[in-house]
Amino acid sequence: MVRNMTSYRELARNHDFTILWAGETISDLGSTMSLFVFPLLAYHLTGSTLIAAALEAANLLGMAAMMLPAGILADRCDRRRLMLGAGAAGALLYGSLTVAGILGVLTITHLAVVALLTGVAQGIYQPAGLAAVRRVVPAEDLPTAFSQVQARQHIASLLGGPLGGVLYAVRSWAPFAVDTVSYAVSCVTLSRVRTDLRPHPREGAPTRPVEQVKEGYRFIWHQPFFRTLLVWSGMSNLLVNACFFVVTMRLIREHYAPAQIGLVSTFAGVGGILGALAAPYVINRLRTGTLTVAVAWMCVLPLVPLIWWATPLGACVAVFLLLLLNPAGNAGIGSYRAAITPDDLQGRTGSAMSFVSMGVMPFAPLLGGWLLADLGGSRAVAVLVAATALGALVPTLSRHIRSVPRPADWPRLEVAIPQAVEAAPTVA
Protein backbone atom coordinates (compact mmCIF):
# COMPACT_ATOMS: atom_id res chain seq x y z
CA MET A 1 0.00 0.00 0.00
CA VAL A 2 2.91 2.35 0.82
CA ARG A 3 4.37 1.81 -2.64
CA ASN A 4 1.00 2.57 -4.24
CA MET A 5 0.59 5.83 -2.29
CA THR A 6 4.15 6.80 -3.19
CA SER A 7 3.42 6.10 -6.86
CA TYR A 8 0.26 8.25 -6.73
CA ARG A 9 2.25 11.09 -5.16
CA GLU A 10 4.99 10.76 -7.78
CA LEU A 11 2.43 10.95 -10.57
CA ALA A 12 0.75 13.95 -8.91
CA ARG A 13 4.14 15.70 -9.06
CA ASN A 14 4.69 14.57 -12.66
CA HIS A 15 3.84 17.78 -14.56
CA ASP A 16 3.51 16.18 -18.00
CA PHE A 17 1.39 13.21 -16.91
CA THR A 18 -0.90 15.38 -14.79
CA ILE A 19 -1.76 17.88 -17.51
CA LEU A 20 -1.97 15.11 -20.13
CA TRP A 21 -4.41 13.16 -17.93
CA ALA A 22 -6.48 16.25 -17.09
CA GLY A 23 -6.79 17.32 -20.72
CA GLU A 24 -7.75 13.84 -21.91
CA THR A 25 -10.28 13.44 -19.08
CA ILE A 26 -12.04 16.65 -20.11
CA SER A 27 -11.95 15.61 -23.77
CA ASP A 28 -13.26 12.09 -23.00
CA LEU A 29 -16.12 13.54 -20.98
CA GLY A 30 -17.09 15.87 -23.83
CA SER A 31 -16.93 13.06 -26.39
CA THR A 32 -19.03 10.74 -24.22
CA MET A 33 -21.72 13.43 -24.01
CA SER A 34 -21.72 13.86 -27.79
CA LEU A 35 -21.87 10.13 -28.48
CA PHE A 36 -24.79 9.82 -26.05
CA VAL A 37 -26.67 12.55 -27.92
CA PHE A 38 -25.97 11.29 -31.47
CA PRO A 39 -28.66 8.54 -31.52
CA LEU A 40 -31.18 10.79 -29.69
CA LEU A 41 -30.79 13.57 -32.24
CA ALA A 42 -30.73 11.14 -35.18
CA TYR A 43 -33.99 9.55 -34.01
CA HIS A 44 -35.54 13.01 -33.55
CA LEU A 45 -34.58 13.97 -37.12
CA THR A 46 -35.56 10.71 -38.85
CA GLY A 47 -37.75 8.65 -36.53
CA SER A 48 -35.58 5.63 -37.41
CA THR A 49 -33.88 3.50 -34.75
CA LEU A 50 -31.77 1.91 -37.50
CA ILE A 51 -30.29 5.27 -38.54
CA ALA A 52 -29.74 6.17 -34.89
CA ALA A 53 -27.75 2.96 -34.37
CA ALA A 54 -25.88 3.49 -37.64
CA LEU A 55 -24.48 6.81 -36.39
CA GLU A 56 -22.90 5.13 -33.39
CA ALA A 57 -21.55 2.40 -35.67
CA ALA A 58 -20.07 5.06 -37.98
CA ASN A 59 -18.00 6.48 -35.12
CA LEU A 60 -16.74 3.02 -34.18
CA LEU A 61 -16.03 2.18 -37.82
CA GLY A 62 -13.95 5.33 -38.28
CA MET A 63 -11.95 4.56 -35.16
CA ALA A 64 -11.32 0.91 -36.03
CA ALA A 65 -10.43 1.67 -39.66
CA MET A 66 -7.81 4.22 -38.57
CA MET A 67 -6.28 2.19 -35.77
CA LEU A 68 -3.57 0.38 -37.75
CA PRO A 69 -2.44 3.36 -39.88
CA ALA A 70 -2.44 5.46 -36.71
CA GLY A 71 -0.09 2.97 -35.06
CA ILE A 72 2.41 3.52 -37.87
CA LEU A 73 2.05 7.29 -37.59
CA ALA A 74 2.60 7.14 -33.82
CA ASP A 75 5.89 5.31 -34.37
CA ARG A 76 7.08 7.59 -37.19
CA CYS A 77 5.87 11.09 -36.35
CA ASP A 78 5.91 13.50 -33.44
CA ARG A 79 3.19 12.13 -31.18
CA ARG A 80 2.41 15.56 -29.77
CA ARG A 81 1.62 16.88 -33.27
CA LEU A 82 -0.58 13.87 -34.02
CA MET A 83 -2.55 14.38 -30.82
CA LEU A 84 -2.82 18.13 -31.39
CA GLY A 85 -4.02 17.55 -34.95
CA ALA A 86 -6.65 15.02 -33.82
CA GLY A 87 -7.81 17.38 -31.06
CA ALA A 88 -8.05 20.36 -33.42
CA ALA A 89 -10.01 18.23 -35.90
CA GLY A 90 -12.45 17.23 -33.14
CA ALA A 91 -12.94 20.87 -32.14
CA LEU A 92 -13.66 21.89 -35.74
CA LEU A 93 -16.01 18.97 -36.41
CA TYR A 94 -18.10 19.42 -33.27
CA GLY A 95 -17.93 23.17 -33.73
CA SER A 96 -19.56 22.73 -37.15
CA LEU A 97 -22.44 20.80 -35.50
CA THR A 98 -22.82 23.57 -32.92
CA VAL A 99 -23.08 26.26 -35.59
CA ALA A 100 -25.49 24.18 -37.68
CA GLY A 101 -27.64 23.56 -34.59
CA ILE A 102 -27.77 27.25 -33.69
CA LEU A 103 -28.75 28.13 -37.27
CA GLY A 104 -31.33 25.33 -37.41
CA VAL A 105 -29.77 23.63 -40.46
CA LEU A 106 -28.47 20.44 -38.82
CA THR A 107 -29.01 17.37 -41.05
CA ILE A 108 -28.57 13.63 -40.62
CA THR A 109 -25.86 13.65 -43.31
CA HIS A 110 -23.88 16.24 -41.36
CA LEU A 111 -24.20 14.13 -38.19
CA ALA A 112 -23.06 10.98 -40.02
CA VAL A 113 -19.99 12.68 -41.50
CA VAL A 114 -18.97 14.11 -38.13
CA ALA A 115 -19.53 10.74 -36.39
CA LEU A 116 -17.27 9.01 -38.91
CA LEU A 117 -14.54 11.67 -38.94
CA THR A 118 -14.43 12.08 -35.17
CA GLY A 119 -13.99 8.30 -34.99
CA VAL A 120 -11.03 8.68 -37.34
CA ALA A 121 -9.61 11.44 -35.13
CA GLN A 122 -9.99 9.25 -32.04
CA GLY A 123 -8.29 6.40 -33.87
CA ILE A 124 -5.31 8.66 -34.60
CA TYR A 125 -5.18 10.00 -31.05
CA GLN A 126 -5.32 6.74 -29.08
CA PRO A 127 -2.05 5.01 -30.14
CA ALA A 128 -0.13 8.29 -29.85
CA GLY A 129 -1.69 8.95 -26.43
CA LEU A 130 -0.77 5.52 -25.05
CA ALA A 131 2.78 5.86 -26.36
CA ALA A 132 2.98 9.32 -24.77
CA VAL A 133 2.15 7.86 -21.35
CA ARG A 134 5.15 5.54 -21.64
CA ARG A 135 7.41 8.49 -22.44
CA VAL A 136 6.33 10.78 -19.59
CA VAL A 137 6.04 8.13 -16.84
CA PRO A 138 8.93 6.09 -15.32
CA ALA A 139 8.62 2.32 -15.74
CA GLU A 140 8.00 1.73 -12.02
CA ASP A 141 4.96 4.04 -12.08
CA LEU A 142 3.35 2.57 -15.21
CA PRO A 143 0.78 0.36 -13.36
CA THR A 144 -0.52 3.39 -11.45
CA ALA A 145 -0.49 5.57 -14.58
CA PHE A 146 -2.46 3.07 -16.64
CA SER A 147 -4.85 2.60 -13.72
CA GLN A 148 -5.54 6.32 -13.83
CA VAL A 149 -6.13 6.06 -17.58
CA GLN A 150 -8.76 3.40 -16.80
CA ALA A 151 -10.30 5.67 -14.15
CA ARG A 152 -10.47 8.52 -16.66
CA GLN A 153 -12.47 6.40 -19.07
CA HIS A 154 -14.92 5.24 -16.41
CA ILE A 155 -15.40 8.77 -15.07
CA ALA A 156 -16.37 9.84 -18.58
CA SER A 157 -18.70 6.84 -18.89
CA LEU A 158 -20.36 7.59 -15.54
CA LEU A 159 -20.91 11.33 -16.06
CA GLY A 160 -21.08 11.70 -19.83
CA GLY A 161 -24.55 10.24 -20.40
CA PRO A 162 -26.40 12.16 -17.63
CA LEU A 163 -24.64 15.46 -18.45
CA GLY A 164 -25.29 14.97 -22.15
CA GLY A 165 -28.96 14.33 -21.44
CA VAL A 166 -29.28 17.47 -19.31
CA LEU A 167 -27.57 19.65 -21.93
CA TYR A 168 -29.63 18.08 -24.73
CA ALA A 169 -32.79 19.01 -22.85
CA VAL A 170 -31.63 22.64 -22.78
CA ARG A 171 -30.59 22.83 -26.45
CA SER A 172 -30.02 19.92 -28.83
CA TRP A 173 -26.66 21.37 -29.90
CA ALA A 174 -25.42 22.22 -26.38
CA PRO A 175 -23.46 18.95 -25.86
CA PHE A 176 -21.60 19.59 -29.11
CA ALA A 177 -20.70 23.10 -27.97
CA VAL A 178 -19.29 21.74 -24.70
CA ASP A 179 -17.39 19.03 -26.60
CA THR A 180 -15.89 21.70 -28.88
CA VAL A 181 -14.55 23.48 -25.81
CA SER A 182 -13.29 20.19 -24.32
CA TYR A 183 -11.22 19.48 -27.43
CA ALA A 184 -9.80 23.01 -27.32
CA VAL A 185 -8.83 22.53 -23.66
CA SER A 186 -7.15 19.24 -24.54
CA CYS A 187 -5.08 21.01 -27.22
CA VAL A 188 -4.01 23.68 -24.73
CA THR A 189 -2.89 21.10 -22.15
CA LEU A 190 -1.00 19.13 -24.81
CA SER A 191 0.90 22.25 -25.79
CA ARG A 192 2.17 22.45 -22.19
CA VAL A 193 3.78 18.98 -22.21
CA ARG A 194 7.54 19.41 -21.86
CA THR A 195 8.72 15.89 -22.73
CA ASP A 196 9.92 15.22 -26.26
CA LEU A 197 7.26 12.82 -27.59
CA ARG A 198 9.00 12.02 -30.88
CA PRO A 199 9.70 8.27 -31.27
CA HIS A 200 13.25 6.95 -31.00
CA PRO A 201 13.83 4.87 -34.16
CA ARG A 202 15.82 1.62 -34.01
CA GLU A 203 18.67 1.10 -36.40
CA GLY A 204 17.64 -1.12 -39.28
CA ALA A 205 13.91 -0.80 -38.58
CA PRO A 206 11.70 -1.09 -41.71
CA THR A 207 10.46 2.13 -43.29
CA ARG A 208 7.75 0.89 -45.66
CA PRO A 209 4.26 1.18 -44.09
CA VAL A 210 3.20 -2.40 -44.90
CA GLU A 211 6.39 -3.80 -43.37
CA GLN A 212 5.93 -1.59 -40.33
CA VAL A 213 2.45 -2.98 -39.72
CA LYS A 214 3.82 -6.50 -40.12
CA GLU A 215 6.62 -5.74 -37.69
CA GLY A 216 4.12 -4.63 -35.05
CA TYR A 217 2.11 -7.84 -35.41
CA ARG A 218 5.30 -9.93 -35.55
CA PHE A 219 6.41 -8.43 -32.28
CA ILE A 220 3.07 -9.34 -30.66
CA TRP A 221 2.95 -12.78 -32.25
CA HIS A 222 6.46 -13.65 -31.04
CA GLN A 223 5.52 -12.79 -27.44
CA PRO A 224 3.40 -15.77 -26.30
CA PHE A 225 1.66 -13.65 -23.65
CA PHE A 226 0.33 -11.18 -26.21
CA ARG A 227 -0.35 -13.86 -28.80
CA THR A 228 -2.67 -15.63 -26.36
CA LEU A 229 -4.31 -12.35 -25.32
CA LEU A 230 -4.95 -11.51 -28.96
CA VAL A 231 -7.14 -14.61 -29.22
CA TRP A 232 -8.87 -14.28 -25.84
CA SER A 233 -9.56 -10.52 -25.86
CA GLY A 234 -11.37 -10.55 -29.20
CA MET A 235 -13.43 -13.58 -28.20
CA SER A 236 -14.28 -12.15 -24.77
CA ASN A 237 -15.26 -8.69 -26.09
CA LEU A 238 -17.58 -10.25 -28.66
CA LEU A 239 -19.32 -12.63 -26.26
CA VAL A 240 -19.65 -10.35 -23.21
CA ASN A 241 -21.03 -7.44 -25.25
CA ALA A 242 -23.41 -9.78 -27.07
CA CYS A 243 -24.61 -11.04 -23.69
CA PHE A 244 -25.32 -7.53 -22.39
CA PHE A 245 -27.10 -6.69 -25.65
CA VAL A 246 -29.40 -9.69 -25.09
CA VAL A 247 -30.00 -8.65 -21.48
CA THR A 248 -30.78 -5.06 -22.47
CA MET A 249 -33.22 -6.19 -25.16
CA ARG A 250 -34.94 -8.49 -22.66
CA LEU A 251 -35.40 -5.54 -20.28
CA ILE A 252 -36.84 -3.43 -23.09
CA ARG A 253 -39.19 -6.23 -24.15
CA GLU A 254 -40.43 -6.63 -20.59
CA HIS A 255 -41.25 -2.89 -20.47
CA TYR A 256 -38.91 -1.80 -17.70
CA ALA A 257 -38.65 2.00 -17.40
CA PRO A 258 -35.78 3.60 -19.36
CA ALA A 259 -34.50 5.16 -16.13
CA GLN A 260 -34.15 1.70 -14.60
CA ILE A 261 -32.31 0.39 -17.64
CA GLY A 262 -30.08 3.48 -17.60
CA LEU A 263 -28.91 2.55 -14.09
CA VAL A 264 -26.89 -0.27 -15.67
CA SER A 265 -24.42 2.22 -17.18
CA THR A 266 -24.29 4.08 -13.85
CA PHE A 267 -23.35 0.90 -11.98
CA ALA A 268 -20.81 0.15 -14.70
CA GLY A 269 -19.19 3.53 -14.16
CA VAL A 270 -19.12 3.18 -10.36
CA GLY A 271 -17.66 -0.33 -10.55
CA GLY A 272 -15.07 0.80 -13.06
CA ILE A 273 -13.98 3.81 -10.98
CA LEU A 274 -13.69 1.75 -7.78
CA GLY A 275 -11.78 -0.91 -9.70
CA ALA A 276 -9.42 1.69 -11.17
CA LEU A 277 -8.71 3.14 -7.71
CA ALA A 278 -7.82 -0.32 -6.38
CA ALA A 279 -5.93 -1.33 -9.54
CA PRO A 280 -2.37 -0.24 -8.54
CA TYR A 281 -2.60 -2.23 -5.29
CA VAL A 282 -3.94 -5.31 -7.12
CA ILE A 283 -1.37 -5.10 -9.93
CA ASN A 284 1.58 -4.84 -7.55
CA ARG A 285 0.34 -7.67 -5.30
CA LEU A 286 -0.54 -10.27 -7.94
CA ARG A 287 1.52 -11.82 -10.69
CA THR A 288 0.40 -10.23 -13.95
CA GLY A 289 -0.38 -13.68 -15.33
CA THR A 290 -2.52 -14.60 -12.33
CA LEU A 291 -4.35 -11.28 -12.62
CA THR A 292 -5.06 -11.91 -16.31
CA VAL A 293 -6.56 -15.33 -15.56
CA ALA A 294 -8.65 -13.85 -12.73
CA VAL A 295 -10.01 -11.15 -15.07
CA ALA A 296 -10.90 -13.82 -17.65
CA TRP A 297 -13.11 -15.61 -15.11
CA MET A 298 -14.56 -12.37 -13.77
CA CYS A 299 -15.89 -11.87 -17.30
CA VAL A 300 -17.82 -15.13 -16.82
CA LEU A 301 -19.03 -15.60 -13.25
CA PRO A 302 -21.07 -12.36 -12.85
CA LEU A 303 -22.98 -13.25 -16.02
CA VAL A 304 -24.24 -16.62 -14.78
CA PRO A 305 -27.18 -15.26 -12.69
CA LEU A 306 -28.41 -13.31 -15.73
CA ILE A 307 -29.62 -16.60 -17.21
CA TRP A 308 -32.48 -16.52 -14.64
CA TRP A 309 -32.25 -13.02 -13.12
CA ALA A 310 -33.28 -10.84 -16.07
CA THR A 311 -34.04 -7.62 -14.16
CA PRO A 312 -32.42 -4.17 -14.04
CA LEU A 313 -31.04 -5.02 -10.58
CA GLY A 314 -29.53 -8.25 -11.90
CA ALA A 315 -27.87 -6.42 -14.80
CA CYS A 316 -26.59 -3.69 -12.45
CA VAL A 317 -25.02 -6.21 -10.07
CA ALA A 318 -23.49 -8.18 -12.95
CA VAL A 319 -21.86 -5.21 -14.67
CA PHE A 320 -20.68 -3.76 -11.33
CA LEU A 321 -18.91 -7.01 -10.36
CA LEU A 322 -17.54 -7.54 -13.86
CA LEU A 323 -15.93 -4.10 -13.91
CA LEU A 324 -14.44 -4.21 -10.41
CA LEU A 325 -11.40 -6.22 -11.53
CA ASN A 326 -11.42 -5.29 -15.21
CA PRO A 327 -9.52 -1.96 -14.80
CA ALA A 328 -6.71 -3.74 -12.92
CA GLY A 329 -6.49 -6.31 -15.71
CA ASN A 330 -6.46 -3.69 -18.47
CA ALA A 331 -3.95 -1.49 -16.62
CA GLY A 332 -1.71 -4.43 -15.75
CA ILE A 333 -1.65 -5.76 -19.30
CA GLY A 334 -1.26 -2.26 -20.78
CA SER A 335 1.60 -1.28 -18.49
CA TYR A 336 3.36 -4.62 -19.06
CA ARG A 337 3.11 -4.12 -22.81
CA ALA A 338 4.41 -0.56 -22.54
CA ALA A 339 7.27 -1.62 -20.23
CA ILE A 340 8.70 -4.33 -22.50
CA THR A 341 8.01 -2.83 -25.94
CA PRO A 342 10.71 -0.80 -27.75
CA ASP A 343 9.82 2.90 -28.05
CA ASP A 344 9.41 2.87 -31.83
CA LEU A 345 6.94 -0.03 -31.60
CA GLN A 346 4.70 1.45 -28.90
CA GLY A 347 2.12 2.86 -31.31
CA ARG A 348 1.89 -0.23 -33.51
CA THR A 349 1.64 -2.79 -30.71
CA GLY A 350 -1.00 -0.72 -28.92
CA SER A 351 -3.03 -0.17 -32.08
CA ALA A 352 -2.72 -3.82 -33.13
CA MET A 353 -4.10 -5.04 -29.79
CA SER A 354 -6.88 -2.43 -29.84
CA PHE A 355 -7.78 -3.21 -33.45
CA VAL A 356 -8.37 -6.88 -32.70
CA SER A 357 -10.37 -6.09 -29.54
CA MET A 358 -12.48 -3.38 -31.20
CA GLY A 359 -12.85 -5.07 -34.56
CA VAL A 360 -15.36 -7.57 -33.17
CA MET A 361 -17.54 -4.97 -31.44
CA PRO A 362 -19.94 -4.28 -34.37
CA PHE A 363 -20.72 -8.01 -34.52
CA ALA A 364 -21.74 -8.28 -30.85
CA PRO A 365 -25.31 -6.94 -31.27
CA LEU A 366 -25.73 -9.03 -34.42
CA LEU A 367 -24.71 -12.20 -32.58
CA GLY A 368 -26.82 -11.32 -29.56
CA GLY A 369 -29.84 -10.43 -31.70
CA TRP A 370 -29.59 -13.64 -33.71
CA LEU A 371 -29.37 -15.83 -30.59
CA LEU A 372 -32.20 -13.93 -28.90
CA ALA A 373 -34.50 -14.38 -31.90
CA ASP A 374 -33.54 -18.04 -32.35
CA LEU A 375 -33.28 -19.32 -28.78
CA GLY A 376 -35.10 -16.84 -26.55
CA GLY A 377 -33.65 -14.80 -23.69
CA SER A 378 -32.54 -17.38 -21.10
CA ARG A 379 -31.10 -19.84 -23.62
CA ALA A 380 -29.28 -17.07 -25.50
CA VAL A 381 -27.61 -15.83 -22.31
CA ALA A 382 -26.76 -19.42 -21.30
CA VAL A 383 -25.08 -20.11 -24.65
CA LEU A 384 -23.08 -16.87 -24.49
CA VAL A 385 -22.02 -17.49 -20.87
CA ALA A 386 -20.91 -21.04 -21.75
CA ALA A 387 -18.93 -19.74 -24.74
CA THR A 388 -17.34 -17.04 -22.55
CA ALA A 389 -16.30 -19.74 -20.06
CA LEU A 390 -14.68 -21.73 -22.87
CA GLY A 391 -12.88 -18.56 -23.92
CA ALA A 392 -11.59 -18.04 -20.36
CA LEU A 393 -9.85 -21.41 -20.63
CA VAL A 394 -7.52 -19.91 -23.26
CA PRO A 395 -5.51 -17.77 -20.79
CA THR A 396 -6.12 -20.21 -17.92
CA LEU A 397 -4.43 -23.12 -19.71
CA SER A 398 -1.57 -21.03 -21.13
CA ARG A 399 1.67 -21.33 -19.13
CA HIS A 400 2.93 -18.26 -21.00
CA ILE A 401 0.12 -16.24 -19.42
CA ARG A 402 0.44 -17.75 -15.95
CA SER A 403 4.24 -17.30 -15.85
CA VAL A 404 4.30 -13.50 -16.27
CA PRO A 405 5.57 -12.06 -12.94
CA ARG A 406 4.67 -9.00 -10.88
CA PRO A 407 5.79 -5.53 -12.08
CA ALA A 408 8.80 -5.62 -9.75
CA ASP A 409 10.20 -8.48 -11.84
CA TRP A 410 9.45 -7.03 -15.29
CA PRO A 411 12.84 -5.31 -15.79
CA ARG A 412 14.65 -8.63 -16.07
CA LEU A 413 12.44 -9.50 -19.06
CA GLU A 414 13.27 -6.36 -21.04
CA VAL A 415 16.72 -7.41 -22.29
CA ALA A 416 15.50 -10.30 -24.44
CA ILE A 417 12.37 -8.66 -25.84
CA PRO A 418 13.86 -6.28 -28.45
CA GLN A 419 15.92 -9.16 -29.84
CA ALA A 420 12.71 -10.92 -30.75
CA VAL A 421 12.01 -8.15 -33.28
CA GLU A 422 15.35 -8.71 -34.98
CA ALA A 423 14.97 -12.50 -34.82
CA ALA A 424 11.44 -12.53 -36.16
CA PRO A 425 11.22 -13.90 -39.71
CA THR A 426 10.43 -11.36 -42.40
CA VAL A 427 7.11 -11.88 -44.13
CA ALA A 428 7.08 -10.93 -47.79
pLDDT tens for 357-412 read: 777 777 777 788 788 888 887 898 999 999 999 999 999 999 888 888 888 777 65
Q: 143 with 332: CB under 8 angstroms?
A: yes
Judgement on whether residues 288 and 404 belong to the same structural domain of the protein: yes
Residues 181 and 278 in one domain: no
In-domain check, residue 101: yes
Same-domain pairing of 245 and 125? no
Residue 3 belongs to a domain? no
Same domain for 217 and 193, yes or no, is no
Provide the CB-side half-sphere exposure for 427 (13 A, CA): 13
Given 135, 162, 197, the domain boundary residue is 197
Side-chain-side CA neighbours of residue 348 (13 Å): 27
Q: Which position has the higher pLDDT, 210 or 34?
A: 34
Same domain for 183 and 220 = no
262 has a pLDDT exceeding 70: no
User: Are 213 and 173 members of one domain?
Assistant: no
Continuous segment of H or E residues that includes residue 219: helix 209-221
Closest to 147 (Cα-Cα) out of 29, 336, 280, 16? 280
How much is the average pLDDT of 36-49? Answer: 77
Contact 26, 182 (CB under 8 A): yes
Around Cβ 188, how many Cβ atoms within 10 Å?
Answer: 13
Say if 4 falls within a structural domain.
no
Local structure of 140: helix, strand or coil? helix
Structural domain for 252, as ranges: 208-428
CA torsion through residues 260, 265, 268, 274, sign = negative
Which of 116-130, 139-153, 300-314, 321-335 has the weakest average pLDDT? Answer: 139-153
More confidently predicted of 74 and 4: 74
Check residue 184 and give its pLDDT: 92
| Tally of domains in the chain | 2
352, 123 contact by CB (below 8 A): no
Give residue 129's pLDDT band: very low, low, confident or very high (50, 70, 90): confident
Mean pLDDT of the chain: 81
Q: Helix 142-170 and helix 312-340: axis angle, to 10°? A: 140
Is the model's pLDDT at 88 over the cut of 80? yes
Residue 190 domain-assigned?
yes
Can you give the CATH number for the domain in which 161 is found?
1.20.1250.20
With pLDDT > 90 as the criterion, what percentage of the chain qualifies?
18
